[in-house]
Every structure is written in C-alpha cells, then in structure tokens.
Amino acid sequence: MGVRWLTTLADINKIFLVTVSLSLLLTVFLVWSIFSAIANERIREIGIMRAIGARQSHVVLLFFLEVNLLGFVGSLLGVAGGTWLSAHLAANFDLLSSISAGLEIWQQLLIGMLGMLVGAGVCLAGAMLPVNRIKKVEPLLAIKDA
C-alpha cells in the first residue's frame, strides 16, 4: 500500500514541476510585455533624461531598480500567500500536515528565500530585452517622436 502512495506522489510531483515550469515561462513573457509597454510609455521621459546628461547606465539602473522593487514586493506577497495557503491546506490533509511538520524552521525559511529569488529572477529575465532596447534610444529622436 505504501509503494502505491509513493508512486502516486511521484506522478503528482512530475505534473507539478511541468506546471510550474510552464508558469515561469509564461510569467517571463508577461513581464516582458508589461515592461515593453512601460518603456514605450516612458520613451520621452528617457529621452529628456538622456538629453540633460544621463548615461545609458543611469537609465538601465533606473529600470533595474524598478524591476527589482516590483519583483521583491511581488515575490514577498507570493511567498506569504503560498505559506498561508499551504498551512491552511496542511490543516485539512493528513499527508500534508505530516510533511510540513517534518520541516525545520531553517528549511522553511530557505524555501521562502528561494521562492523570492526565483520571483525576482523571473522579473529580471523578463525586463532584460525592453531595458536593452530603451537604453539605446537617441535623446533627440525620443523627444521628437513621443
């Protein structure tokens, strides 16, 4: 009877990993499209910044700070929501409560930190192309075209 449960859990784990992988890929594309729209909306602002002396590195730093802040806050909310949901589900399922009870506090913190790093990494990966495109904008053309 126990071997059957382990096989079932292994199958569920495979399905879960495929689902998470697809979600990560779709999230990267979503972040890319959102930051492309943000960059297009702020093209004139970036042109003015460049015209008054901001370097490409300043523009990149500005966008990366914004991406990191959004990624951090989103990851923090995601980890907090996931922790609450898993604790709520663990109270209702015997199998989940025995798994979560076996984790030490440092293991739980490590899982949370890993989740935050992955969330911030997905935001950075999705924002790379729009940031690289926007940093090369000529100031005069950006001001004139916007």
> What is the tens place of the pLDDT at every residue in 68-109?
898 899 999 999 998 888 778 777 776 666 665 667 888 888
* Of 81, 83, 75, 87, residue with least CA distance to 122: 75
Q: Are 23 and 122 in contact (CB under 8 A)?
A: no
Alpha carbon dihedral 32, 37, 38, 39, in 10-degree steps, equals 80
- Angle (CA) 30 79 107, round 5°: 130
One-letter amino acid at 16 equals F
> What is the tens place of the pLDDT at every residue in 27-70?
889 989 988 888 888 888 888 888 888 888 888 898 889 888 98
Q: Are 126 and 32 in contact (CB under 8 A)?
A: yes
Q: Are 118 and 38 in contact (CB under 8 A)?
A: no
> What is the tens place of the pLDDT at every residue in 13-36?
899 999 999 998 998 899 899 888
One-letter amino acid at 8 equals T
Alpha carbon dihedral 33, 36, 42, 44, in 10-degree steps, equals -140
Tell me: pLDDT of 6 over 90: no
